[in-house]
Amino acid sequence: MQKYVIHGGHPLFGEIEISGAKNAAVAIIPAALLVDGCCRIENIPQISDVTVVMEILQELGADVRTINKNTFEIDCRHIRSCRVPDELARRMRASYYLIGALLGRFGEAQVSMPGGCDLGVRPIDLHLKSFKALGADIDLQGGFVYAQAPQKRLTGATIYMDQVSVGATINAILASVLANGLTVIENAAKEPHIVDVANFLNSMGANIMGAGTDVIKIHGVESLHGGTYSIIPDQIEAGTYMAAVAATGGSVLIRNIIPKHMDCITAKLVEMGVEVEENEDTLLVRRTGKLQKTNIKTLPYPGFPTDMQPQITTVLSLAEGTSLVTEGVWGSRYRYVDELKRMGANIQVDDKTAVVEGVDHLTGAPIQAYDLRAGAALVIAALAAHGQSEITQVQYIERGYEDIISKLRALGADIRSVEEPEEAPAANVG
Ligand code: EPZ
Summarised one tens digit per residue, pLDDT across range 121-157 is: 568 999 999 999 999 999 988 888 999 999 999 999 9
Give, for ligand 1, the residue of 19, 161, 329, 333 to mutate: max count of ligand atoms closer than 8 Å to Cβ: 329
Task: Give distance in angstroms: CA of 166 to centre of ligand 1.
Answer: 6
Per-residue pLDDT at 430 exceeds 70? no
- Residue 318 within any structural domain of the chain: yes
Pair 215, 184: CB distance under 8 Å: yes
- Residue 427 within any structural domain of the chain: no
Pair 157, 133: CB distance under 8 Å: yes
Domain final residue, candidates 230, 260, 287 = 230
Closest ligand 1 atom, residue 120 Cα: 27
Please tell me whether residues 56 and 7 are part of one structural domain.
Answer: no
Compute CA 400 distance to the chain's CA centroid, rounded to the nearest angstrom.
7
Please tell me whether residues 293 and 182 are part of one structural domain.
Answer: no
In which band, very low, low, confident or very high, does the pLDDT at 114 lie, cut at 50, 70 and 90? confident
Closest ligand 1 atom, residue 236 Cα: 29
Query: Which residue puts its alpha carbon closest to atom 17 of ligand 1?
Result: 167
Q: Give the total number of structural domains in the chain.
A: 2
Task: Give distance in angstroms: CA of 377 to centre of ligand 1.
Answer: 19
Please tell me whether residues 37 and 71 are part of one structural domain.
Answer: yes
pTM: 0.96
Task: Give distance in angstroms: CA of 411 to centre of ligand 1.
Answer: 32
pLDDT of residue 118: 55
Please tell me whether residues 205 and 304 are part of one structural domain.
Answer: no
The radius of gyration computed from the CA coordinates of the chain, to the nearest angstrom, equals 22
Please tell me whether residues 90 and 220 are part of one structural domain.
Answer: yes
Rounded average pLDDT over 74-79: 97
**Structural domain boundaries enclosing 317:** 2-18+233-419
pLDDT of residue 121: 54
Query: Which residue puts its alpha carbon closest to atom 20 of ligand 1?
Result: 165
Please tell me whether residues 48 and 66 are part of one structural domain.
Answer: yes
Please tell me whether residues 273 and 209 are part of one structural domain.
Answer: no
Task: Give distance in angstroms: CA of 93 to centre of ligand 1.
Answer: 9
pLDDT of residue 383: 98
Closest ligand 1 atom, residue 189 Cα: 24
Please tell me whether residues 86 and 142 are part of one structural domain.
Answer: yes
Closest ligand 1 atom, residue 306 Cα: 8
Please tell me whether residues 55 and 133 are part of one structural domain.
Answer: yes
- Residue 429 within any structural domain of the chain: no
- Residue 428 within any structural domain of the chain: no
Q: Please tell me which residue in 39, 76, 82, 117 is annotated as part of the active site.
A: 117
Question: 64 has which bridge partners?
Answer: 74
Complete DSSP assignment for 191-221: -HHHHHHHHHHHHTT-EEE-BTBSEEEEE--
- Residue 426 within any structural domain of the chain: no
Question: 15 has which bridge partners?
Answer: 253
Residues in contact with ligand 1 (CB, 6 Å cut-off): 23, 26, 93-94, 117, 119, 121-127, 163, 165-168, 189, 306-307, 329-330, 372-373, 400
Is residue 117 annotated as part of the catalytic site, yes or no? yes
Specify the DSSP element, H or E, that contains 101: helix 96-106
Greatest Cα-to-Cα distance within the chain, rounded to the nearest angstrom: 70
Q: 146 to each of 27, 368, 391, 408, 421, how far by Cα in Å?
A: 20, 36, 39, 43, 42
What's the CATH code of the domain at 34? 3.65.10.10
Query: Which residue puts its alpha carbon closest to atom 15 of ligand 1?
Result: 94
pLDDT of residue 123: 85
Give the separation between CA 31 and CA 23, rounded to whole angstroms.
13
Task: Give distance in angstroms: CA of 167 to centre of ligand 1.
Answer: 6
Specify the DSSP element, H or E, that contains 259: helix 259-271
DSSP 155: B
Pair 346, 280: CB distance under 8 Å: no
Tell me the average pLDDT of the chain: 94
Please tell me whether residues 195 and 334 are part of one structural domain.
Answer: no
